[in-house]
């Protein structure tokens, strides 16, 4: 299969690209840093192709995704992994704005582009990387938590759209817990997965076409508990 991973130069995205390549799939990744795109190609022996893309430049990113699809000779799976966020208890607007620009506007624009490509093609899988943070809002990182809620809801909406119109497009939502990447800000974190471990579970969830997969799987329990916590307890943690 031909796989495109948006945001694949580091962390979960790069680990997932390596996993797909190791399993014999044709893989392309996108990112802003050309040196990392080139490095991924070298390290994989040319099995991973890199294409420069700034997802926040939506006017350029949408046609660029279609160009990458053409360069790959088509796509069977597109993974939207590009994301950003930071702790922001002081509500610095620059942090909130960048988070929304990347995780909401850019995500939706590329999700629509990928979805419509698969709808026209008549088959395909669109996977989006959300987060356990999508379960409830976060006072420590308001825009990040809210943006992941958007990602989860938007993917569900696209799944419903496909079902309503009887389109053969699979929509997969991935909700990682703590994964040891540059994005992880939590101190004294528990159940921290290494990127290769997370990538293996994400790979299996995508191929199975799971609607919503927690990574690692036991984070489903944490999400369930968080959802059930009354406000007077949740507000203290």
Lowest mean pLDDT among 7-11, 27-31, 79-83, 136-140: 136-140
pTM of the model: 0.93
* 176-200 per-position pLDDT tens digit: 998 887 666 666 667 888 999 999 9
Domain 2-234: which CATH class?
A: alpha beta
Q: How far is CA 229 from CA 53, 130, 232, in A?
A: 40, 21, 8
Residue 225: per-residue pLDDT: 86
Question: By the 8 A CB rule, do 148 and 188 touch?
Answer: no
Q: pLDDT per residue over 52-90, tens digit each?
A: 999 999 999 999 999 999 999 999 999 999 999 999 999
State yes or no: pLDDT of 220 exceeds 80: yes
Q: Which residue has the higher pLDDT, 223 or 183?
A: 223
- The strand pair at 48-52 and 26-31 is best described as parallel
Q: For 42-51, 80-89, 104-113, 223-232, which range has the lowest pLDDT when averaged over its residues? A: 223-232
Report which of 29, 106, 111 is spatially closest to residue 68, judged by C-alpha positions.
29
Structure tokens at 117: 């490509």
Confidence category of residue 223, pLDDT binned at 50, 70, 90: confident
Strand partners, 52: 31
Domain residue ranges in the chain: 2-234
pLDDT in tens, 172-181: 999 999 888 7
pLDDT score, position 145: 95
DSSP string, 56-120: T-HHHHHHHHHHHHHHTT--SEEEE--------TT--HHHHHHHHIIIIIIHHHHHHHHHHHHHH
Mean pLDDT of 107-121: 98
| Residue 217: partners with Cβ closer than 8 Å, 6 or more residues away | 201
What three-state secondary structure class fits 212? strand
- Mean pLDDT over the full length of the chain: 94
The arithmetic mean of pLDDT across residues 40-44, rounded, is 94
């Amino acid at each position: 299969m031909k796989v495109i991973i948006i945001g694949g130069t580091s962390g979960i995205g790069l680990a997932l690209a390596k996993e797909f390549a190791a399993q014999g799939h044709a893989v392309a990744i996108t990112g802003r840093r050309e040196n990392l795109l080139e490095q991924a190609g070298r390290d994989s022996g040319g099995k991973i192709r890199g294409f420069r893309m700034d997802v926040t430049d939506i006017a350029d990113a949408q046609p660029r995704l279609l160009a990458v699809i053409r360069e790959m000779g088509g796509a069977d799976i597109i993974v939207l992994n590009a994301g950003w966020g930071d702790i922001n208890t002081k509500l610095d607007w620059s942090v909130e704005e960048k988070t929304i620009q990347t995780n909401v506007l850019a995500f939706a624009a590329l999700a629509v582009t990928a979805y419509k490509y698969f709808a026209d093609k008549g088959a395909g899988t669109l996977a989006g990387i959300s987060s356990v943070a999508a379960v409830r809002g976060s006072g420590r990182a308001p825009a990040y938590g809210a943006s992941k809620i958007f990602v989860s809801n938007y993917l569900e909406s696209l799944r419903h759209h496909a079902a309503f119109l009887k389109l053969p497009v699979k929509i997969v939502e991935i909700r990682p817990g703590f994964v040891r990447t540059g994005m992880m800000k939590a101190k004294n974190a528990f159940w921290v997965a290494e990127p290769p471990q997370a990538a293996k579970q994400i790979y299996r969830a995508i191929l199975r076409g799971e609607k919503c997969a927690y990574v690692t799987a036991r984070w489903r329990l944490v999400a369930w508990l968080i959802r059930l916590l009354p406000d007077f307890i949740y507000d203290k943690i």
